[in-house]
Amino acid sequence: MAYNDDAVRAKLSSLNETSDSISTVAQWIMFHRRHANRTCTVWLEKLREAQGIKRLTLIYLANEVVQQSKFRRKEDFVVAFSPIIAEATATVYRAATTDVQEKIKRTTEVWSARKIFDKTIQDTIEARIVEMDRLRSEKKGGLLGKSLFSGGSDASAPSELQPLIPLQIALSKANAAAEPATTTATQDFDKLTDSSKPAPSPPVYAARLSALFKSLSSAESAVAERIKTRQDLVDGLEKLLATNRTALDKEKAQLSTIQERRETIERKKTEVEDAIMRGGAAAAAAATGAFSPLTETANGNNNNNNNNNTAGEPERPKVEELTPPPTESLTPIQSPKFHHSEQLSPIPIHNFTSLDHQHQHLGTSLDPRTSPPTVPYHTQQPSHDPRHAPAAKKRKLEDEFEGFGAGEDAMAGLDDDVAELLRAESGGV
């Protein structure tokens, strides 16, 4: 079948939702890839005329064509569909049921994952779908129409970018309308002005010129509209850019102020730490005084005077060392040595007051008249004969406890065996 607009419409009319039908029509269209722009124009017209499931089938046909073209690296149809695919997808999505909308979303997700279209075109497609979901949600007061591209948020974009979305959508529409018009006008002009072909008769030539004039006029209007919408988008971007530039200058000034304050506080902190390390009370008082950034320069000029005053400060007090003296200085490890020249006085009798009280409790007293005379310590000559040791102890006990239990048997009340053992140990007394 020869290629013309009627042949394309016939192929699109015979299309159904089966995969075989879609594949067959797609192969025929790709065979005539030289007419890709014209085929896409007729496809868009047919999509606008179609109703119901037929629109989804046309989307599937476009999907088959662009993916096969991308795979074969013959991207004539990818380029031809790029200006109109966003408008076509929005047209089908707007009047579709929920099931059909989910299928369209999955198709656009495949385009995004496989990078079929440029990022700008893909963003435009998703923005149109998000915008329609948002409008539907606001109208119904629910989230039934939430888009998969919204990332779980009701807002499609930050509030600062919201004014740019309608401008971008308008530009996409202008591109979709201008691209086919300019392509058609260019092709018609090239055909009519081709010098290699014979000139037609004057009536036919006049008719062709009239048709070319209309085509050029339509292309001119479409391009002018696209320029207008693009200028609006540029103005919006420049406004956003100016706002961000102003905020950026303000933030830079704020950062400079914070850095200056941080450096000032760092210097002050160093001064305080140095004063603490020096331990000088005057320097510490000066460093911890009332701080003002305006007086910092004056304080810096007075450093020389402060250094001169440092010489007049009082001396630091001597602190007793914390290291204890050696044990030998407190407790001699050798026995005391006495010289014959030393005169030691006897222990005063009044020091035995507490002992007197104890002896009274035991039935004795320390009366100096009945007690043995006090012998000075240095005149006592200790006996070194071990044979006289028990007798000395016995005499001492008798002297100190004389009269204690006098007239009584000390062994009274004890068993005979125990008393006899005690007498044997005491020497038979």
pLDDT tens-digit readout, 48-75: 888 888 999 999 999 999 999 988 888 8
**414 three-class SS:** coil
Q: CA-CA distance, 294 to 300, in Å (whole number)?
A: 11
Q: Please give the C-alpha separations between residue 251 and each of 139, 238, 257, in angstroms, as whole numbers.
A: 40, 19, 10
> Length of the chain in residues, anyone?
429
3-state percent breakdown (helix, strand, coil) of the chain, nearest 5: 70, 0, 30
Q: pTM for the whole thing? A: 0.38
C-alpha–C-alpha distance, residues 165 and 162, integer Å: 6
pLDDT at 163: 85
Distance, in Å, from the CA atom of 201 to the CA atom of 213, rounded to the nearest integer, reads 18
Q: Which segments in the chain show pLDDT lower than 50?
A: 142-155, 290-298, 301-302, 308-311, 338-344, 349-371, 374-384, 386, 388
What is the structure's pLDDT at 145?
43
In the numeric block, which tokens belong to residue 334?
């050798």
Looking only at Cα atoms, what is the longest distance across the chain?
Answer: 179
Q: Is the Cβ–Cβ distance between 312 and 289 less than 8 Å? A: no
Residue with tokens 């026995």: 335
Nearest to residue 133, comparing CAs of 110, 101, 161? 101
Tally of helices (H runs) and strands (E runs) in the chain: 17, 0
The pLDDT, as a whole number, for residue 30 is 92
Would you give the DSSP letter of residue 319? P
- Long-range contacts: 370-375, Cβ < 8 Å, 24+? 372/399, 374/346, 374/347, 374/349, 375/346
Would you call 170 helix, strand, or coil by DSSP? helix
Q: How far is C-alpha 107 from the geometric centre of its chain's CA atoms?
A: 37
User: What is residue 43's predicted lDDT score, i.e. its pLDDT?
Assistant: 93
Output the pLDDT for position 197.
82
80 φ/ψ angles, rounded to the nearest 5 degrees: -70, -35
Query: Which residue carries 């009536």 as its tokens?
Result: 203
Nearest to 169 by CA among 251, 113, 229: 229
User: Which residues have CB under 8 Å from 389's CB, separation 6+?
Assistant: 383
307: number of Cβ within 10 Å:
10
Phi, psi angle pair for 298, to nearest 5°: -65, -40
Q: How far is CA 3 from the centre of its chain?
A: 62
Give the pLDDT score at 281.
54
Q: Label residues 76-102 b or e (16+ Cβ within 10 Å = b).
A: bbbbbbbbbbbbbbbbbbeebeeebbe
Tell me what pLDDT residue 399 has: 57
